[in-house]
């Protein structure tokens, strides 16, 4: 037997096996990262750090949305040892059954999934993961619980934050937050179960800005799952970054004051800065404290109550309520008539009450006086000239051309469509055109006499209070406007690009002068319908409106801007079922104007009258059967 040859064969075999192991080891450690990553996954923990949401300021730099510290009581089932359910329940102020049910709810809340390899349905719940056992504990609540947690292994406190609203107003502007749904988690990898997301208002529109950027911290753990140190000395950690602050155009003092004035009233106030399109105040009444919807517990208690409230405080009246504009619509009819050349500033018409009802006043000998008196027959004549211009021999074909041109003007005023804005919850209103009436009466089955109610802002015309306020800004600017919006700056970058685009109407600037003069006379000239809107030291231009309401008393409306030259505020006040626009809406608007321009209110008698007025229970008018 050749023992030497066999010895060399065995030696070569051992060397070859060793080489194979060495090559494989080199491949696993140097070339193939998957093994390295797998080892890391076993030994490290990846912890997401959620930053506090961005702060919100008003136009004067006041913090109006901040963050407040809260605590979650966390649990990790694999660390729980011999839990004394009775003692733990006593610490929480719960019953033992509530504690046991909470464990079941957590497991159930995580849901299930189908294992693609085995085909079996398995639970998403993992005993080694941490879950919130109780969320949103206050400092007082956690202070009572935390000192005793050492008796209950597997439970610990975790600091978090939620929104806080120092001024307890502007709920309809801010919106609120609530927990993300599974669908939202699937759509956006930013979110994890238990995270919050904006549900309404600016919290929703600017969600991606306000939420900031999450950070990641890698922790090396021991075999017992205890943290030892940061992985690689923190080399791969990323820092959480808070979202940029938002600065609104809103004046929070004006907003809160407006909400106070609208107590015991239904309706709204919208104030805009004409020069920028920034919303100064947007009041929906009845209103509510936004702190009522902070956190899951508060939402669970208060949201159902707000939904069931007969005053509908969650309904955004300035944005979604589509009202007949009433007499404020006459301003637009005058502008269109001037632009079309069917009237001049000197045009006069008789107050023919047999043709259309009107209050007692002298006939208007010119356009400014027609506006001052808010004469219904005057604007019946004006709009008839706009619609029936004699361009066709058939009055029906002629009315079709005239109405479509009229509707084109209305669309240039921003009516009949939604603004592309950061204001959520808007509706478009309604500006009827020929196609609209064709559906009701048939093609060429109608003429001006059929639709004459649009002359005075009644009938089929519907616009929102936000659109009304924008009309005031448009008139104040003599024919142009910026899209109304809330946010004047994201961080230091200014507003979104679409809010820097100037929109022009179809009306020439010179045609605004006689209309504005009529608005001035409505406030200051004898016989004007809006004398209660005057403000000492400033020239207010305004127009009253009294919109018919089939369900009860008429709505009180006032549209205005001030000062007459270099206007700083455009405002509309809409009070449901309050009657004549000059009685309630006009004086309320004057208080808002003075507050904004001077920072104070001097007419305390007028202020007291508005603050103490209860217009919720106005006796409805008897309607003819």
Q: What is the pLDDT of residues 537-591, one digit of tens each?
A: 999 999 999 877 766 788 899 999 999 999 999 999 999 988 888 899 999 999 9
pLDDT in tens, 114-138: 777 777 888 888 888 888 899 889 8
- What is the Cα–Cα distance from 414 to 467, expressed in whole angstroms? 7
pLDDT in tens, 388-444: 999 999 999 999 999 999 999 999 999 999 999 999 999 999 999 999 999 999 999
The three-class DSSP label of residue 570 is: strand
CATH topology for the 322-463+501-528 domain: Beta-lactamase (3.40.710)
DSSP strand pairing (44-49 vs 227-230): unpaired
For the chain, state the CA radius of gyration.
34
pLDDT band for 34, please (50, 70, 90 cuts).
Answer: very low
For residue 334, the model assigns a pLDDT of 97
Q: What percent of the chain has pLDDT over 90?
A: 66
- What is the Cα–Cα distance from 407 to 399, expressed in whole angstroms? 12
CB 256 within 8 A of CB 292: no
At residue 93's C-alpha, the angle toward residues 91 and 96, to 5°, is: 85
pLDDT in tens, 148-187: 999 999 999 888 888 999 998 999 999 999 988 888 988 9
pLDDT in tens, 38-67: 444 444 466 777 888 999 999 999 999 999
For residue 13, the model assigns a pLDDT of 66
For residue 42, the model assigns a pLDDT of 43
- Over residues 87-98, the mean pLDDT reads 94
DSSP assignment, residue 531?
A: G
**Domain residue ranges of the chain, discontinuous segments joined by +:** 70-116+125-166, 322-463+501-528
Q: Which CATH architecture has domain 70-116+125-166?
A: 2-Layer Sandwich (3.30)
- What is the Cα–Cα distance from 57 to 64, expressed in whole angstroms? 5
Share the mean pLDDT of the chain.
88
pTM, rounded to two decimals? 0.84
């Amino acid at each position: 037997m050749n023992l030497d040859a066999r010895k060399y064969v065995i030696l070569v075999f051992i060397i070859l096996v060793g080489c194979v192991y060495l090559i494989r080891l080199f491949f696993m450690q140097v070339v193939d990262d998957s093994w390295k990553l797998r080892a890391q996954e076993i030994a490290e923990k990846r912890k997401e750090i959620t930053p506090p949401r961005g702060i919100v300021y008003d136009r004067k730099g006041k913090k109006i949305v901040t963050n407040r510290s809260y605590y979650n009581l966390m649990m990790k089932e694999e660390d729980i040892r011999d839990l004394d359910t009775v003692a733990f329940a006593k610490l929480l102020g719960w019953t033992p059954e509530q504690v046991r049910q909470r464990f079941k709810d957590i497991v159930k809340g995580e849901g299930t999934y189908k294992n693609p390899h085995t085909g079996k349905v398995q639970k998403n719940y993992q005993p080694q993961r941490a879950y919130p056992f109780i969320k949103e504990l206050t400092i007082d609540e956690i202070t009572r619980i935390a000192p005793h947690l050492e008796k209950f292994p597997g439970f610990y406190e975790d600091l978090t934050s939620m929104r806080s609203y120092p001024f307890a107003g502007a709920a309809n502007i801010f919106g609120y937050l609530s927990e993300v749904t599974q669908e939202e988690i699937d759509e956006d990898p930013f979110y994890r179960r238990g995270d919050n997301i904006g549900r309404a208002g600016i919290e929703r529109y600017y969600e991606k800005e306000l939420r900031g950027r999450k950070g990641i911290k890698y922790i090396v753990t021991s075999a017992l799952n205890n943290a030892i140190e940061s992985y690689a000395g923190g080399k791969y950690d990323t820092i959480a970054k808070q979202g940029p602050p938002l600065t609104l155009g809103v004046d929070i003092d004006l907003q809160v004051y407006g909400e106070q004035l609208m107590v015991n009233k239904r309706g709204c106030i919208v104030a805009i800065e004409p020069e920028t399109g920034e919303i100064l105040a947007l009041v929906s009444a009845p209103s509510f404290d936004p702190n009522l919807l902070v956190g899951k517990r508060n939402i669970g208690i208060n949201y159902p109550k707000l939904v069931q409230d007969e005053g509908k405080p969650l309904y955004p009246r300035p944005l979604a309520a589509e009202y007949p504009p009433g007499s404020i619509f006459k301003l637009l009819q005058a502008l269109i008539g001037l632009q079309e050349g069917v009237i001049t500033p000197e045009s006069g018409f008789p107050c023919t009450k047999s043709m259309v009802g009107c209050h007692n006043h002298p006939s208007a000998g010119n356009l400014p006086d027609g506006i001052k008196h808010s004469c219904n027959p005057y604007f019946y004549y004006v709009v008839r000239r706009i619609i029936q211009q004699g361009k066709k021999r058939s009055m029906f074909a002629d009315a079709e051309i005239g109405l479509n041109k009229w509707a084109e003007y209305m669309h240039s005023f921003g009516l009949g469509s939604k603004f592309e804005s950061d204001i959520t919850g808007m509706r478009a209103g309604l500006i009827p055109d020929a196609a609209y009436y064709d559906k009701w009466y048939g093609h060429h089955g109608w003429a001006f006499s059929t639709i004459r109610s649009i002359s005075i802002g009644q009938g089929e015309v519907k616009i929102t209070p936000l659109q009304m306020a924008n009309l005031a800004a448009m008139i104040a600017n003599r024919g142009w406007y910026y899209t109304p919006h809330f946010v004047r700056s994201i961080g230091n970058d200014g507003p979104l690009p679409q809010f820097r685009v100037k929109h022009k109407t179809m009306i020439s600037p010179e045609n605004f002068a006689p209309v504005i003069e009529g608005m001035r006379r409505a406030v200051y000239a004898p016989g004007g319908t809006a004398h209660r809107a005057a403000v000492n030291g400033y020239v207010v231009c305004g127009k009253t409106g009294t919109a018919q309401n089939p369900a009860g008393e008429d709505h009180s409306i006032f549209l205005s801007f001030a000062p007459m030259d270099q206007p700083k505020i455009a405002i509309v006040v809409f009070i449901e079922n309050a009657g004549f626009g000059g009685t309630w809406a006009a004086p309320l608007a004057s208080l808002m104007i003075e507050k904004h321009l001077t920072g104070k209110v001097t007419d305390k008698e007028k202020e007291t009258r508005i603050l103490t007025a209860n217009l919720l229970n106005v006796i409805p008018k008897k309607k003819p059967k």
